Amino acid sequence: MDLSQLKRFVTTVEGGSLGKAAEILNISQPGLSKSIHQLEADFGAKLLDRGPKGVTSTAFGEAVYLRAKRILSEWRHLENERVALFNGLVGHITIGVARGTGFLGRVIPAASARLTNSRYSVHLTVVSGVAEELARALRLGDLDFAVAVLDTVSGSTDLVEEVLFYDRCGMFVDPGHPLARSGPVGIEELVQYCWLFSTDAASLRDALCVLARSKSVEPRKTVIDSNSVVYLVSTLIGSEFVGLLSMDSVEDAVNAGNLVEVVLEPTQRSQVALAAVERPIGFLRRADTTLSPVAVALRDEILALCIKLGYPLVSASPPDSG
């Protein structure tokens, strides 16, 4: 068994077929099949079920896949550290960022631009997703670190959290919407319209449903949810939906005058828990790994840019070098 065998097996599982995996790996399909058979012989167990529509992992194959992902990730980390030790801030970093137009559209591009400084020689890969997706990618070793909403993964002992700032969920409508001109609104008015909400704002939606039922009214049956900010904002503009979204995700649309925030009237606002409105955004990394020197440098660039660009940092203990 060697690392190339593990990489071929992982690629086959993720590709779903030997043909697709062979194309990605740029090897022959018979050669790939032989490598998988050899791996199965080494383990003394079947790893893949082969069928007319492709391949799927056996129960043991799934366990091998998860472990192989971690092994390959650790090897990549080790290679980054080796290169950094002898050549400075050099290496390949993969980071995950919560979907949205604010942080993703401002801080990360600015941090990326700083990597053009001559002290860096970096291959940076940036992926986006909701917190659960990014946490899974971290656990599989696909990411060095992530910047995500922390409360959905809070308490996970295998992940280390470091709060950067607090985002706020709110209610947004098109400027021509009837609620845009009515001042503070009551839940009785909100339930007259269909709601759409981002995955990261589900807690606000749940809290508003509870508030509505306490007032003996029911939200409309039609509800749209999505983890695509682009889709949600595009659907909201020009419609009579009420959007439940994070401020970070709609800041550009609000500043451009394409969306308007509406607020609950004060007595009802006090009945919505703060935890349903404020969302901690911060760094996530695996507890059992350390960041490479170049990943630490990128994290420090992001921290500095948060201050420069006005993101409200919370008081926290100084980040460690891992």
Q: Read off φ and ψ for residue 170, nearest 5 degrees.
A: -150, 180
Q: How much is the pTM?
A: 0.62
- Note the pLDDT of residue 239: 94
Query: How far apart, in whole angstroms, are the C-alpha atoms of residue 199 and residue 278?
Result: 14
Grouping H, G, I as helix, E, B as strand and the rest as coil, residue 259 is coil
State how far Cα 199 lies from the chain centre: 11
Domains contained in the chain, CATH given: 3-64 (1.10.10.10), 76-166+279-308 (3.40.190.10), 168-278 (3.40.190.290)
Query: How far apart, in whole angstroms, are the C-alpha atoms of residue 32 and residue 47?
Result: 14
The amino acid that residue 58 corresponds to is T
- Note the pLDDT of residue 242: 96
Instruction: Show pLDDT as tens, one digit a residue, over the chain (322 residues).
Output: 578 888 889 989 988 888 888 888 888 888 888 888 888 888 888 999 988 888 899 999 899 998 888 888 778 777 766 665 555 567 788 999 887 667 777 888 888 888 877 677 788 899 888 788 888 888 888 898 999 888 777 677 889 898 888 888 899 999 999 999 878 999 999 999 999 998 778 889 999 999 999 999 999 999 999 878 889 999 999 999 999 998 888 888 888 999 999 999 999 998 988 778 888 888 999 888 778 778 888 888 898 888 887 775 554 333 343 4
Report DSSP state, residue 150: S
Grouping H, G, I as helix, E, B as strand and the rest as coil, residue 278 is strand
Dihedral sign computed on CA atoms, order 42, 45, 50, 56: negative
Tell me the C-alpha to C-alpha distance, in Å, between residue 213 and each of 138, 207, 221, 321. 39, 10, 14, 49
Cβ-proximal residues to 162 (8 Å cutoff; 6+ apart), any chain = 282, 283, 316, 319
112 burial type by CB count under 10 A (0-12 exposed, 13-18 middle, 19+ buried): middle
Tell me the C-alpha to C-alpha distance, in Å, between residue 51 and each of 17, 25, 28, 201, 250. 9, 21, 19, 41, 45
Instruction: Quickly list H helices, 122-264.
Output: 131-140, 187-190, 202-214, 229-236, 247-255
CA-based end-to-end distance of the chain: 31
SS3 content of the chain, % helix, strand, coil (to 5): 45, 25, 30
Cβ-proximal residues to 234 (8 Å cutoff; 6+ apart), any chain = none
Helix (DSSP H) and strand (DSSP E) numbers for the chain: 12, 11
- Note the pLDDT of residue 85: 57
The token duo for 107 is 């801080």
The β-bridge partners of 283 are 147, 162
